[in-house]
Amino acid sequence: MSRVKKGKKLSKDKGLTASLIIIAGLFLIAIFAPWLAPHDPNVGILSNRLLPPSSEHWLGTDHMGRDLFSRIIYGTRTTMVVALIITAGCFMIGTIVGVTAGYAGGWVDSLLMRIVDLLFAFPSRILALVVVGIIGPGLVNLGIAMILSWWVSFARVIRGVTLTVKENEYVLAAKLYGQPKWKIIRKHILPNVMPQLLVIVALNISWIMVALAGFSLLGLGVEAPQAEWGMMISEARPYMRDNGYLLLFPGLAIMIVVSAFTILGEKLRDVYDPSHLKV
C-alpha cells in the first residue's frame, strides 16, 4: 500500500479520528490542569468529606474532603506523563536491542535474544513486582521496574521487522556501496521500521497505563496525597458501597484513555501491518 493510500485511509477512519481527538484532549487537560481544576487537588476540608456531586463539587468529594473533579484532572497529568516516560524508556531500549540483534545477526543476535527470551519467560507485571520489591516502592522506582520488565516486548517485535527490512534491495545496495553500518541503520532501517514502532507504542502505552493504575491500587506507585487514578480507586474501596461515584469517575477516566490508545494502535496496525487480518 502506497503512502498516499495509507494517508487517505487514515484520514477517513472515524475511529482513528475520535481516538486522536480524545488523546489530544487528554494532553491539553494534562498541560492546563492548574487552570482547569477549580480546587487544590491535595487540600481537603474534612467538613466537606464524601459530598455527592453538586454545583460546587461537580463530581463530589472524597473521604478527605478533596474535590474529586480536580483530582481526576491532575490525575490525567500524572498518568499521562508517567506512562509516556515509561513507554519512551521501553521504546529506546527495545529499539536499540531489536535493531542491533536483527541487523547484526550471528552471535550478537543469539546473545541478545537469549537475554530477551529469559526476561520474556517471566510475566512483565510479576517481574516488575520483583524489581519493586528489591529497590523499594515509589513512583520513580516503579517506573524503572516497568521499563526493565516491558522493553523485551518492544525488542522482539522490532527485531522481526528489522530482519525483514534488511533484506530489501535498497539496504543490500547500500552495503555494496560500502556505507557504514550505523549509517545504513539510521538512513534505511529505522525510517522503515518506524511505522511498526508507532503501532507498538500506541498499543503498549494503554497496557502500561492499566499496569500503572494496578500498581498504584496496590500502593506501590504514586504516594499520597498526589492525585493518580489507580490510587483514587484504592482510597475509594472502603466507601464504595455508599459512595459509588468515588470508584465510578476514576474508573471511567482509565477506561476512556486506555480505549483511545488501544483504538489508535489497532487502527495504525490495520494500515501498516495488515498481515494479521484474515483474507
Tell me which H or E stretch contains 210. Answer: helix 190-217
pLDDT of residue 164: 83
* pTM for the whole structure: 0.81
CA distances 235 to 64, 213, 228, 230, 257, Å, are: 10, 12, 11, 9, 21
- Mean pLDDT of the chain, nearest integer: 82
Whether residue 126 is predicted with pLDDT greater than 60 in this model: the reply is yes
| Tens of pLDDT, residues 79-92 | 888 888 888 998 89
Mean pLDDT of 16-27: 88
Task: Write the CB contacts of 249 (distance below 8 Å, at least 6 apart in sequence).
Answer: 59, 68, 72
Preceding omega of 225 cis (within 30 degrees of 0) = yes
Q: What pLDDT was estimated at residue 24?
A: 92
pLDDT above 90: residue 69: yes
Distance CA 118, CA 122 (A): 8
Most confident of 98-102, 135-139, 188-192: 98-102
What is the pLDDT at residue 63? 85
The length of the chain in residues reads: 279
**Residue 10 clears pLDDT 70, i.e. is over it:** no
| pLDDT over 80 at 269, yes or no | no
Confirm if 84 and 74 have CB atoms less than 8 A apart: no
Distance CA 68, CA 154 (A): 36
Q: Which residues of 175-199 are buried (b: 16+ CB within 10 A; e: fewer)?
A: eeeeeeeeebbeebbbebbebbbbb
Angle, to 10 degrees, between the axis of helix 68-104 and the axis of helix 245-272? 30
